[in-house]
């Protein structure tokens, strides 16, 4: 493993934990953007490399959530960016359209994020908005501090979205105001989710989370339209019903592929894929399926 590390990030406990665990090759840098924001980077090549960037986040630790996202009924909706980028390389993921680099950035000043979140009142906070935080749990126990915060602040609802199979690394008996939201896809769609765990492994991880006492939700989002779409999703929902006790699932979100047209344009330079090059309808600067409502209605009917 190779780690680019800001000089002022070296002495943080999180940095020391990762360095001690992996004994990586260290390349000291002045600022993470010197690596992360370089021009003409090869995103897919970088995704194949075992490299991280460790940095110190300055000034802003929480951001207002987008009006296009589910705020769960909270007027105060925020998200944190403790990590930029992801271990996975899903061909439909908007992160490829946002970030110039395939190397994830981990901000090591964990306490600053927690302390800022501790000032929120009657709020909803998404902690894996621009990453899959649980996917990094084998590197460092990121969720421990967030779960403890949820336990201390009953008026704060915290959500972690994931495709990860790392639920065995999470603590038991979490508070009810901490939610794990699992993104699940049919086996035929997981071919677009490079480096992510298989559907079988995700289902196993989901069931482990339920047994540990987590409040669990499922996201069938994005629906991807492929050949034999109806049969693919019919078999997927059948598999879901057979392997998950859906009466224990708090909520199931369903949504079809949609993306800002500029993000999609960048994504097409990274992935030559039937997902990225589908002839979407462009409306209000967004790429969507022409029959989006029918796709969602069909999957809902299966449930």
Residue-wise pLDDT for 10-61, tens only, equals: 999 999 999 999 999 999 999 999 999 998 899 999 999 999 999 999 989 9
CA distances from 92 to 55, 110, 172, 275, 282 (A): 27, 29, 33, 6, 16
Query: Is residue 169 pLDDT above 90, yes or no?
Result: yes
Q: What is the Cα–Cα distance from 109 to 113, expressed in whole angstroms?
A: 7
For position 68, what pLDDT does the model report? 66
Query: Is residue 129 pLDDT above 90, yes or no?
Result: no
Domain assignment present for residue 265? The answer is yes
* Contact indicator for 94, 260 with CB cutoff of 8 Å: yes
164-200: b or e for each residue (b if 16 or more CB lie within 10 Å)?
bbbbeebeeebbebbbbbbbbbbebbbebbeebbebe
Q: What is the Cα–Cα distance from 149 to 146, expressed in whole angstroms?
A: 5
Question: Cβ-count burial of 65 within 10 angstroms (0-12 exposed, 13-18 middle, 19+ buried)?
Answer: buried
For position 218, what pLDDT does the model report? 98
Query: Is residue 66 pLDDT above 80, yes or no?
Result: no
Question: Which residue in 299, 149, 144, 291 sits closest to 233, CA to CA?
Answer: 299
Tell me which residue range forms the domain holding 66.
54-91+107-302
Q: Give the model confidence (pLDDT) of 211-248 as tens digits.
A: 999 999 999 999 999 999 999 999 999 999 999 999 99
In CATH, what number is assigned to the domain containing residue 82?
Answer: 3.80.30.30
Domain assignment present for residue 31? The answer is no
DSSP 8-class letter at 22: H
For position 97, what pLDDT does the model report? 83
Question: Which residue in 96, 88, 38 sits closest to 270, CA to CA?
Answer: 96
Q: Does the global pTM surpass 0.75? A: yes
Segment 197-210 shows an average pLDDT of 98
Average pLDDT, the chain: 95
- Establish whether the linkage from the previous residue to 228 is cis, with ω within 30° of 0: no
Q: What is the Cα–Cα distance from 142 to 119, expressed in whole angstroms?
A: 19
Domain assignment present for residue 39? The answer is no
For position 75, what pLDDT does the model report? 87
Assign 29 to helix, strand or coil. strand
* Contact indicator for 103, 4 with CB cutoff of 8 Å: yes
Domain assignment present for residue 62? The answer is yes
Determine what percent of the chain is predicted with pLDDT higher than 90: 92
Query: Is residue 67 pLDDT above 90, yes or no?
Result: no
DSSP 8-class letter at 284: T
Domain assignment present for residue 36? The answer is no
Domain assignment present for residue 280? The answer is yes
Segment 144-171 shows an average pLDDT of 97
Q: Look at the chain and report how many structural domains it folds into.
A: 1
* Contact indicator for 108, 153 with CB cutoff of 8 Å: no
Query: Is residue 7 pLDDT above 90, yes or no?
Result: yes
Q: What is the Cα–Cα distance from 90 to 75, expressed in whole angstroms?
A: 31
Find where tokens 């006492």 sit.
213
Domain assignment present for residue 12? The answer is no
Domain assignment present for residue 11? The answer is no
């Amino acid at each position: 493993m190779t780690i680019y590390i800001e000089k002022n990030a070296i002495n943080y406990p999180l940095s020391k934990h990762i360095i001690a665990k992996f004994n990586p090759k260290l390349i000291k840098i002045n600022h993470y953007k010197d690596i992360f924001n370089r021009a003409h980077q090869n995103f897919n090549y970088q995704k194949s490399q075992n490299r991280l960037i460790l940095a110190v986040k300055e000034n802003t630790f929480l951001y207002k959530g987008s009006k296009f996202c589910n705020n769960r009924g909270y007027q105060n909706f925020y998200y944190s960016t403790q990590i930029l980028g992801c271990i996975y390389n899903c061909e439909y993921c908007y992160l490829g359209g946002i970030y110039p680099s395939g190397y994830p950035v981990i901000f090591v000043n964990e306490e600053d994020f927690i302390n800022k979140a501790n000032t929120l009142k009657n709020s909803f906070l998404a902690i894996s908005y621009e990453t899959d935080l649980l996917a990094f749990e084998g590197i460092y126990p990121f969720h421990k501090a967030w779960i403890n915060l949820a336990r201390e602040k009953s008026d704060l609802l915290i959500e972690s979205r994931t495709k990860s199979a790392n639920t065995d690394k999470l603590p038991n008996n979490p508070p009810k105001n901490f939610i794990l939201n699992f993104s699940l896809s049919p086996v035929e769609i997981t071919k677009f989710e490079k480096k992510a765990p298989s559907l079988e492994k995700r289902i196993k991880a989901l069931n482990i989370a339920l047994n540990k006492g987590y409040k669990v939700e499922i996201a069938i989002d994005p629906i991807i339209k492929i050949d034999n779409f109806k049969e693919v999703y019919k078999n997927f929902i059948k598999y879901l019903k057979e392997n998950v006790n859906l009466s224990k699932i708090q909520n199931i979100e369903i949504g079809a592929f949609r993306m800002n047209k500029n993000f999609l344009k960048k994504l097409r330079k990274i992935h030559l894929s039937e997902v990225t090059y589908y002839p979407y309808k462009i409306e209000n600067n967004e790429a969507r399926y022409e029959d989006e409502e029918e796709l969602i209605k069909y999957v809902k009917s299966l449930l």
